[in-house]
Chains A and B, each alone.
Chain A
Amino acid sequence: MCDERGAAIEPVAVVSNERVADDVGRVVFDAPRTAASIAPGQFVHLRIARGADFILRRPFSVHRAYDGRLEILYQVVGRGTKVLAEAIPGDVMDVIGPLGAGWSVPGDATRALVVAGGLGAAPMGMLVEELAAREVDVTFALGAPSAGRLVARQLFESLCRRTLVATDDGSAGTCGFVTVLTPEALERERPDVVYVCGPEPMQRIVAAQCAEAGVACQVSLERLMACGVGACLSCVVATSDGLKRACVDGPVFDAATIAWEPSGDAEVAG
């Protein structure tokens, strides 16, 4: 899914940085080269701060790319995202990108189901824009712990024919994990393809539902990652075809090939 120019290091300047949901921020970078070449589902490797204390870059999926800009959604979970949350317009960082293999849209697809839990909505912005451009009929199932943590709902509602919502506490939409929405959506919408991103136990459940329904399913997996270019082997994913690297073979994989880690359903978060 890389363009012919491939990945490169690009200095990027912060254009804006704001909170868009409880504990979720959206940073917009001026990044003409990467924005012009990135495909839906690919990611960038962001160097958040210079100085010896930050040894590793952070991988981020790209929510949207337009007019030379990259939109990245992030949740403050550690030191890196804390520094990112404090970035102000004009701050300069750098990205390596575009990286990885993104979503694939079958040429004959007419209906798609997109399932996102929490910040799993992040890589779905570019995807639904692409699907809309191809006039694919999209149903979006969006889950979050609470109404205040639903991410990018308006964008998805504007581009998808139906947007279904589930929250763990019932403060918006159906009460429960997003996985309660998918069986019915699969049955009713009969999608040609399903795209999933979110907590891994949730992805595993949706993948199983799709397998049972006989529908192709793609998942975007998250791994701790050092190099981002396939060299260090830190981000491997167990598949039916052996170990694959999330950074170059993924992050998007055919769900049917993943050797899922067994996990209790109690861990599933919307």
Chain B
Amino acid sequence: MSGRVDMGVRIGELELRNPVMTASGTFGSGREYAQFVDLSRLGAVVTKGVSVDSWAGNEGPRIVETPSGMLNSIGLQNPGVEQFCENDLAWLAGQDVPVVVNVVGHSVDEYVAVTERLDAEAAVSALEVNISCPNVDAGGMVFGTSCPAAAEVVRAVRRATRKTLIVKLSPNVTDIAEIARAVEAQGADAISLVNTLLGMAIDTRTRRPVLARGFGGLSGPAIRPVAVRMVWQVARAVDVPVIGMGGITDARDAAEFMLAGATAVAVGTANFMDPTSTVGVVVGLERYCEAHGIERVAHLVGAAWPEKGL
């Protein structure tokens, strides 16, 4: 570390130089943002979702701005795992940053197939199993909103890899702690949350939904209080580390998530507004720790809990 604060955190077997990651789907494969950000300054790059075969995604319009947020219905468009490995991963491998690949599928078998393929890639540091995307008809959130289905996917994927396994949860559930416990029991090394909240916008001029698919996933500062609450709930319910995300735009937001119990954080929608926001959060978190006399950033984790405190 260059500064006086130990910024390192640990997620499963993965040692991160700092707790700031990118949120899947908002940072491409990292390549698109490398012109603005020195990727080696980040804790990890989390790629867009990758499926076994290529997915075309949804019809447009795919996004719309909403109050303090945005809705998207991209639908996990991606070139498939082989193309991903050949192009994106090969490039990322040379970037001196841990690579976390987000895994998606229409079925348990597809999740397993992608996981097996990526397990063979040394450049992949960890997998993030996405059972939380609201924008696909089969797979995604379908698996993430029931305990048995979530457990089934994680059990199968766990058998297919020895790499650090992160499971990304949907906030579109009644009891997120229950889902978290279910995936922890099946061998998840960490839990990331939250994916987007299901939302909708209607164009009052055309009297039609703005997004071609009708519903979409809400992200941005508008969802932050919901995400912080869920991180708090989940981090207290499980023993594995939690990666918090949902509307983080600056170091204050990141610190809030860590105080709620997150070991690491991910910056998503803020990248669109400011492509350098991830590095801004890294720098700001270190300053925050310095200003508050905190020697290790990990000491922030759960420090807002009643039984803890700095």
Q: Interface on A for B, CB 8 Å cutoff? A: 6-9, 47, 52-57, 96, 223-236, 243, 248
Contact = CB atoms under 8 A, between A and B. Distances in A.
Given A224-B62, A229-B33, 6 more contacts: A224-B63, A227-B271, A231-B48, A232-B28, A234-B74, A236-B62
Interface of B: 25-28, 32-33, 35-36, 48, 56-57, 60-70, 72, 74, 77, 220-221, 249, 269, 271-276
The interface centre, meaning the residue of A7, A54, A230, A234 with most chain B CB atoms within 10 A of its CB, is A234
A231 to B, nearest CB: 3
B161 to A, nearest CB: 26
Contacts of B269: 55, 226
Given A55-B272, A231-B271, A7 B35 contact: yes
22 contacts: A7-B35, A9-B36, A9-B275, A52-B220, A55-B69, A56-B65, A56-B272, A57-B272, A96-B275, A224-B61, A224-B62, A224-B64, A227-B28, A227-B272, A231-B27, A231-B28, A231-B33, A232-B25, A232-B26, A233-B77, A234-B60, A236-B77
Contacts of A6: 35
A247 to B, nearest CB: 9
Given A229-B275, A233-B74, A243-B57, A55 B65 contact: yes
Given A224-B63, A233-B74, A47 B272 contact: no
B60 A236 contact: yes
B28 A52 contact: no
Contacts of B27: 231
B63 A232 contact: yes
A234 B28 contact: no
Q: Which secondary structure dominates chain A's binding surface?
A: loop
Contacts of A224: 60-64
Contacts of A231: 26-28, 32-33, 48, 271
Contacts of A230: 28, 32
A228 B28 CA distance: 11
B273 A57 contact: yes
A229 B275 CA distance: 9
A233 B272 contact: no
B36 A53 contact: no
A76 to B, nearest CB: 14
B5 to A, nearest CB: 27
Contacts of A226: 63, 70, 72, 269, 272
A115 to B, nearest CB: 24
A47 B65 CA distance: 14
B70 A223 contact: no
Given A7-B35, A96-B275, A231-B32, A55 B68 contact: yes
A232 to B, nearest CB: 6
Nearest to A236: B60
B74 A232 contact: yes
Contacts of A235: 60, 62
